[in-house]
A and B are shown apart, each in its own frame.
Chain A
Amino acid sequence: MAAPEASPLHQFSIDRIAEMHLGRLDLSYTNSALLMTIAAGLITALMVAATRNASLVPGRLQSLAEMLYDFVAKMIDDNVGEEGRQYFPFLFTLFMFILFGNLLGMIPYSFTFTSHIVVTFALAATVFIGVTLIGVIRHGFHFLSLFVPHGVPKALLLLLVPIELLSYCIRPFTLSIRLFANMVAGHTMLVIFAGFVAPLGLFFFAPIAMDAALVLLEFLVAVLQAYVFTILSCLYLRDAIHLH
């Protein structure tokens, strides 16, 4: 899988930093894991530093943390409702982790762990399993009414229920592929355009200008995709709590 150094995909290759094996399991500490550790560390540091000297008139750091908090809290209030409040810690962690993963990936020579489907699928599967469990625990057998559309003739239900069921099962896939594909596409595009700089000779400035614009776009995508992932998780949660 290791792509050659100059390949646009080389930036996604995983390198082992510290070898670690448990039986036949390869638990090596990789650059991906390193970036995740950094992300988790930075988030913790930000929140701790922001709340340590909390004052009524917030300083810069405190207002940043408050804005992030308000952003996620409002998203949950608008999309899930009152009952969603108890799931705030999870959704906030999810949002911050993806946001920091995307943004840390924008640092040159760093690594974007959200560009690996294993990572995004693990996140999406956690959301999916968690939301389904919440639905089943809250509603028991009645949870299955989520798959029965309203006001449909009985005969059509035979066809529609499997379709609803399938479209429910697709959720973790679309959720994870959306994030992963956006990150891979953007970062690959940056390197491809950068690769045009030398061969174009006199017109070297054209791809550089393109890359400059793309970097800005990528920052937008990084924040937007974290937002999209979280809001879709909210909506799934809403479905599980309110059924319809």
Chain B
Amino acid sequence: MGLGFRIGLELVVAVFVGVAIGWAIDRWLGTRPWGLLVFLFLGVGAGMTNVYRVVKGLGMAVGYKGEGRGGTEPGKGERGKGEWDDED
């Protein structure tokens, strides 16, 4: 239930959501199997991006970018980077 759980969750959920979207698009547009294929790989890609961000400590949240914590002025409110990573 720590960091490992989070990484597994990000990977699996991303793939599932990708497949679900692809499947829905196929049903809607009748483009089987292309939607499923494309979105499966996009899902895998999104999952890996998220895992990469989590591990790098950049991404406490999905889609978090850049080194500067935008909202925080430097020097104020430093939550150590590790503080998040140990717990989940």
| CB of B57, distance to nearest CB on chain A (Å) | 13
* B61 close to A232 (CB less than 8 A): yes
Determine, out of A8-16, A72-80, A95-103, the stretch whose residues face the partner at the interface. A72-80
* A170 close to B46 (CB less than 8 A): yes
Residues of B within 8 A of A78 (CB): 72, 77, 79
Check B64 for interface membership: any CB of A closer than 8 A.
yes
Residues of A within 8 A of B27 (CB): none
Residues of A within 8 A of B50 (CB): 167, 170
* B45 close to A163 (CB less than 8 A): yes
Residues of A within 8 A of B9 (CB): 174, 177-178, 181
* A239 close to B61 (CB less than 8 A): yes
Check B42 for interface membership: any CB of A closer than 8 A.
yes
Residues of B within 8 A of A43 (CB): none
Check A224 for interface membership: any CB of B closer than 8 A.
yes
| CB of B16, distance to nearest CB on chain A (Å) | 8
**Contact for A167 among B1, B14, B70, CB less than 8 A:** B14
| A183-212 interface with B by 8 A CB criterion | 185-186
Residues of A within 8 A of B (CB): 74, 77-84, 146, 149-150, 159, 162-164, 166-171, 173-174, 177-178, 181-182, 185-186, 221, 224, 228, 231-232, 235-236, 238-239, 241-244
* B1 close to A221 (CB less than 8 A): yes
Residues of B within 8 A of A (CB): 1, 5-6, 9-10, 13-14, 16-18, 21, 39, 42-43, 45-47, 49-50, 60-66, 69-73, 77, 79, 84, 87-88
The A interface is mostly helix, strand or loop, or mixed, namely helix
Which 6 residue pairs across A and B have the least CB separation, nearest first? A81-B71, A235-B61, A78-B77, A242-B70, A167-B46, A166-B46
* A80 close to B63 (CB less than 8 A): no
| CB of B13, distance to nearest CB on chain A (Å) | 5
Q: Using A167-B46, A167-B49, A178-B6 as known contacts, say yes or no to A81 and B60 having CB atoms under 8 A apart.
A: no
Residues of A within 8 A of B69 (CB): 79
* A235 close to B13 (CB less than 8 A): no
**Contact for A224 among B17, B73, B88, CB less than 8 A:** B88
**Contact for B63 among A81, A159, A167, A186, CB less than 8 A:** A167
**Contact for A79 among B6, B18, B43, B71, CB less than 8 A:** B71
* A242 close to B71 (CB less than 8 A): yes
| CB of A144, distance to nearest CB on chain B (Å) | 13
Residues of A within 8 A of B87 (CB): 224, 228
* A236 close to B61 (CB less than 8 A): yes
Please indicate which of the listed interface residues A159, A235, A241, A243 has the most CB atoms of chain B within 10 Å of its own CB.
A235
| CB of B79, distance to nearest CB on chain A (Å) | 6
**Contact for A235 among B17, B46, B64, CB less than 8 A:** B64
* A80 close to B49 (CB less than 8 A): no
* B65 close to A166 (CB less than 8 A): no
* A164 close to B63 (CB less than 8 A): yes
Q: In the complex, given contacts A167-B14, A221-B1, what are 14 additional A-B residue pairs having Cβ atoms less than 8 angstroms apart? A: A78-B72, A79-B71, A80-B71, A149-B65, A163-B46, A166-B18, A170-B17, A170-B47, A174-B10, A177-B13, A178-B88, A181-B5, A232-B60, A239-B61
